[in-house]
Amino acid sequence: MKFLHRIGAVAAKEVRQLRRDRLSFGMIVALPIMQLLLFGYAINMDPRHLSAAVADLSGTAASRQYVHDLAQSQVIDIKHQVGSAEALEALMRAGQVSVGIYLPPDFERRLAQPDRAAGQLLIDGSDTVVQAAAASLVSPARTAPVADAPPTLEIRTYYNPERRSPVNTVPGLIGIILTMTMTLFTAVAIVRERERGNLELLITTPIRSWELMVAKILPYIFIGLVQASLIFWLGDSLFRVPMRGDWLDAYAVILLFIVANLALGLMISTLASNQFQAMQMTFFILLPSILLSGFMFPFDGMPRAAQWIAEVLPMTHFMRLIRGIVLRGAELGELRGELAALGAFLAIALTVAVRRFDKTLD
């Protein structure tokens, strides 16, 4: 079992060096937390003073009081008073308001009826921040609170192709963090060793190249799992991100994705001749992963060419897998295609890396 001995020696050394590199070690934990808060709160944040327009067709004291109460919340600033629903829609189409309040002529009578909404809240859903904030407006009390009654205003969301929210963002964030750290850490760990001349010494020892590769990525597999767990935990406690699928499925997918990114990192390390190049190549992968994978923008809305590029990125497939499992409770069997794509990526990256990671300096 000499090879286990050697792998253990290199892996232990790797961990020791990482622990001593305070900054990198801190990044392992700080990066996910920072990103989570950034993305989570950027989306969840409570905007105020959204421009609003009111079409109050009933014009009674009660309706005026109701509009006044809404304005008091400071979520909306009432900029326009119009006379019809059509006028409200026109303002919204033009982008002049993002919230419209429609109170029908029989508003007062409807308020007393527990089985139907009294009016409508029109929301420009193209911005999730706006959508979330405006939706909070519907809670102001009806005159006669009744259990299970519909809210006073019925929400109608406009222009929202895909409803996104922190819940939707957090699982994807796991993918971004893993792409960033796994790829960069392995690539840099190996390139640095070559740059500093350590590799020249290592390859004259009996350690085999596959042993060296395994030993180098082993600690990072563990680190990746810790990062994913951290995001799950924070996502649950801060944003109530649900887990509708199976934990085991989620972790299996995460593990596959981690290994795929480590293989990518190895591949980069065989192509880059210094740490800076390794960093550049990582960002070359990372940027499209953030922008094209469906994490930031809905996949369906992207141009065809961007979609093709996205299909090549492991992140795109991971995004579909993890959202499917976490948010829709999908089972692995239903996501076979995505699993296969991720597996194929892993196989290719690993093959290239192993073939190029020769134990010579040629």
Confirm or reject binding of residue 356 to other proteins (CB under 8 A): no
Q: Which is nearer to other proteins, 176 or 215 (CB)?
A: 215
Confirm if 312 and 284 have CB atoms less than 8 A apart.
Answer: no
Which part of the chain contacts other proteins (CB under 8 A), choosing from 6-14, 44-52, 182-190, 302-310?
6-14
Q: What is the DSSP string of 187-251?
A: HHHHHHHHHTTHHHHHTTSS--HHHHHHHHHHHHHHHHHHHHHHHHHHHHHHH-----S-HHHHH
**Of 8, 150, 151, 329, which one interacts with other proteins (CB under 8 A)?**
8
Q: Which is nearer to other proteins, 201 or 312 (CB)?
A: 201
**Of 61, 115, 303, 360, which one interacts with other proteins (CB under 8 A)?**
360
93's tokens: 């189409």
Confirm or reject binding of residue 21 to other proteins (CB under 8 A): yes
Q: Which is nearer to other proteins, 211 or 338 (CB)?
A: 211
Confirm or reject binding of residue 113 to other proteins (CB under 8 A): no
**Of 6, 164, 216, 323, which one interacts with other proteins (CB under 8 A)?**
6
Closest of 272, 281, 183, 170 to residue 229, by C-alpha: 170
Confirm or reject binding of residue 287 to other proteins (CB under 8 A): no
Could you say which residues in the range 182-221 bind other proteins, by CB under 8 A? 196-198, 200-208
Residues constituting the chain: 362
Q: Tell me the number of residues near other proteins by CB under 8 A.
A: 26
Confirm or reject binding of residue 20 to other proteins (CB under 8 A): yes
Distance of alpha carbon 241 from alpha carbon 232, whole angstroms: 8
We find the least distance from the C-beta atom of residue 18 to other proteins, in angstroms, to be 10
Torsion-angle region of 51 (φ positive above 0: left; ψ -120 to 50: alpha; else: beta) = beta
Confirm or reject binding of residue 237 to other proteins (CB under 8 A): no
Q: Distances from the Cα of 287 to the Cαs of 12, 131, 292, 318, in angstroms? A: 32, 27, 8, 15
We find the least distance from the C-beta atom of residue 155 to other proteins, in angstroms, to be 58
The greatest distance separating any two alpha carbons of the chain, rounded to the nearest whole angstrom, comes to: 90
Distance of alpha carbon 89 from alpha carbon 132, whole angstroms: 19
**Of 10, 50, 167, 281, which one interacts with other proteins (CB under 8 A)?**
10
We find the least distance from the C-beta atom of residue 207 to other proteins, in angstroms, to be 5
Confirm or reject binding of residue 361 to other proteins (CB under 8 A): yes
Sheet with strand 153-158: strands edge to edge: 76-81, 50-56, 99-103, 119-124, 153-158
Confirm if 155 and 133 have CB atoms less than 8 A apart.
Answer: no
Which residues contact other proteins (rule: CB under 8 A)?
A: 2, 5-6, 8-10, 13, 16-17, 20-21, 196-198, 200-208, 360-362
